[in-house]
Amino acid sequence: MCSGKDEKYFKNISQRERAIFEGAITMGALFHQFIGAPVSEESAKVLERAIKESMELQPCIDSVEVKIDFGDSGLENEYAYVSLTGEMLDVKVVSTYQGVGAVIRMRYVEELNYPLMYVERAG
């Protein structure tokens, strides 16, 4: 939810840019807060929900979708958990500012061999 009370601090950017900014800030916070967290197959759904609910508290964020994919993460160790990495995350953040929306996405892009954050769509 955006109150608009902080508008004077963002007067040098458009509504579209503000929607992108808020989504991108949220994605960066998500990445740097949760990477390295221990996760198992049993705890993955709980962690997905915790990430989703905490990031939805950020200003202007309408929704967050989080999917943890273990892929070849080596879960077959004696402890049955691994540390969360960017490669394991598929995240979509939807942000809106004054009716203008943006979808910010992070997912592993195989051709880049990198968990890329990018603007998937912006109005």
Domain ranges of the chain: 14-122
d(CA 42, CA 39): 8
d(CA 65, CA 49): 9
Q: What is the CA radius of gyration of the chain?
A: 16
Each residue of 14-70: pLDDT tens digit?
A: 999 999 999 999 999 999 999 999 999 999 999 999 999 999 999 999 999 999 999
Each residue of 62-116: pLDDT tens digit?
A: 999 999 999 876 677 777 899 999 999 999 999 999 999 999 999 999 999 999 9
d(CA 93, CA 61): 7
Strand 114-122, strand 100-109: pairing? antiparallel
d(CA 102, CA 24): 10
φ, ψ at 12 (rounded to 5°) = -90, 5
Residue 39 near residue 84, CB atoms below 8 Å: yes
Write down the pLDDT at residue 24.
96
Q: Is the CA virtual torsion 54, 60, 61, 62 positive or negative?
A: positive
Pick the CATH number of 14-122 from 3.30.70.3420, 3.90.470.10, 3.40.309.10, 3.30.1300.20: 3.30.1300.20
* % pLDDT > 90, the chain: 80
